[in-house]
Structure 1
């Protein structure tokens, strides 16, 4: 039977917004990516980071516990002719058992909160090259900026079919769009907590960077974003999926007949490296 993560995989690969070019330029500059490095994308999902970094590296390993997510990434890599990617089923707790070669850079996108934040940096310390590092990247709320009104429309329709979610944030009603959580502090505090864990690890030199990005969605894209979230993946709707999709499309068009749904998100990256004498 399809799991919520499995059924969300093709929508995640297609509809989740990409990280900005500035993020990859930062990685290329800080880690001197010249096509000779080995990169680990930990908690890769369908590999948006893997696919973007493959042209800059010799080899990129995408590791995730959900085979369906990896299958989507492998399909996209084949379509794009990226032969230097490997898609491995595994989780952060067992990363050492994968017997990977020496890693120059480990990137974790929107997944560090699901990991043991003390153990993972310690395990990576034995795998990363002396000048290697860990980079966390996520979407975080912008302080004092309200969520776009159409997001509430999506939540209301979803709640009618699945019941009220446990609340904003990972695993909750806003997981698909947690950059727009109301009030703002939760996501920012979670990012700062993650960075505090890194600062206490062998990778204690932590620098943070942020970029704001305006995204404009069509009705199809908003529906796809909803299905991209494991808490509302297509499998959870069963035989009511078509009815949900129809009602959501109508509710969105009732809200804005022109079909324009925009939001501005903030991307936050933490670059963690070892202190050098």
Structure 2
């Protein structure tokens, strides 16, 4: 998931430290959309392929599309599957000449788009028996745990009050979908736990739209040491558990 410019310089961290999705999530999509090795997939705002690559083996052709060319370079390096194509562009470039698809996925990306405009474009690109999948999880976004409060506290100590998070939407995705061709919506929630190490937490922080590495500049080593010390003071075994709620919207014409 990316939006042009917002993730500049983060692609290597995005590829290495952005968490994937659970097996139950993929199993449900494969069953729900009859992904039997036929059909075409478009992963819109694909980032470095966290959705595209696992699903590519279940379709005839998979296309990952993203406005950040560095993300696509990283994605291409992660998979050599012959049925994968990486396309530079975003939702504003649709429909283009991409053709029609059984499934369009948007993982942690729909909120970055002009959602109404994207759905209007996709209306002519999704097969009658196909549909959309919009998947979002918190991914360290909320301070549910004491160690997550520590992360926020150290960031504020080095940066002051953090900038407002961009990409926040007020109107629920379901309401936007209800005005589109994709009115038949099912909501499914996967709840599970994700475990992080200190290095993974720092790497993830460098993968977000907040340009943390640039803002820290030459204070990065001090920030990393302060965060490491503070985290280990709360959880000495260095394994940090995050409760995850993955919300999945599947929408059909």
Under a length normalisation based on structure 2, what TM-score does the superposition of the two structures give?
Answer: 0.90
Give ranges in structure 2 of 5+ residues lacking alignment: none
Question: In the alignment, is the contact (CA less than 8 A) between 1:70 and 1:89 conserved in 2?
Answer: yes
How many residue pairs end up in the alignment? 247
Q: Indicate the residue corresponding to 2:185 in structure 1.
A: 206
| Residue from 109, 128, 140 that aligns with 2:107 | 109
- SS of aligned partner of 1:263: strand
Rounded Cα–Cα distance in structure 2 between residues aligned with 1:171 and 1:15:
20
4+ runs of 1 displaced by more than 6 Å?
A: none
Once the two structures are overlaid, the 10-residue window that deviates more, 118-127 or 247-256, is 247-256
- SS of aligned partner of 2:70: helix
Give ranges in structure 1 of 5+ residues lacking alignment: 173-186
Q: Does structure 1 residue 154 correspond to structure 2 residue 157?
A: no
| Residue from 119, 125, 137 that aligns with 2:135 | 137
Cα gap change, 1:231 to 1:85, in 2 (>3 Å): same
Question: In the alignment, is the contact (CA less than 8 A) between 1:66 and 1:89 conserved in 2?
Answer: yes
Rounded Cα–Cα distance in structure 1 between residues aligned with 2:13 and 2:214:
12
Q: Does structure 1 residue 83 correspond to structure 2 residue 78?
A: no
Rounded Cα–Cα distance in structure 1 between residues aligned with 2:11 and 2:20:
15
Question: In the alignment, is the contact (CA less than 8 A) between 1:12 and 1:46 conserved in 2?
Answer: yes
Rounded Cα–Cα distance in structure 2 between residues aligned with 1:77 and 1:63:
15
CA RMSD of aligned residues (A): 2.1
Cα gap change, 1:11 to 1:102, in 2 (>3 Å): same
Q: Does structure 1 residue 220 correspond to structure 2 residue 238?
A: no
Aligned ranges for residues 1-277 of structure 1 at < 5 Å? 5-78=7-80, 82-97=81-96, 99-140=97-138, 147-167=144-164, 170-171=165-166, 193-274=172-253
Question: In the alignment, is the contact (CA less than 8 A) between 2:190 and 2:246 conserved in 1?
Answer: yes
| Cα displacement (A) at 1:4 | 6.0
Rounded Cα–Cα distance in structure 2 between residues aligned with 1:123 and 1:133:
13
Rounded Cα–Cα distance in structure 1 between residues aligned with 2:14 and 2:143:
25
Q: Indicate the residue corresponding to 1:177 in structure 2.
A: none
Greater per-residue helix proportion: 1
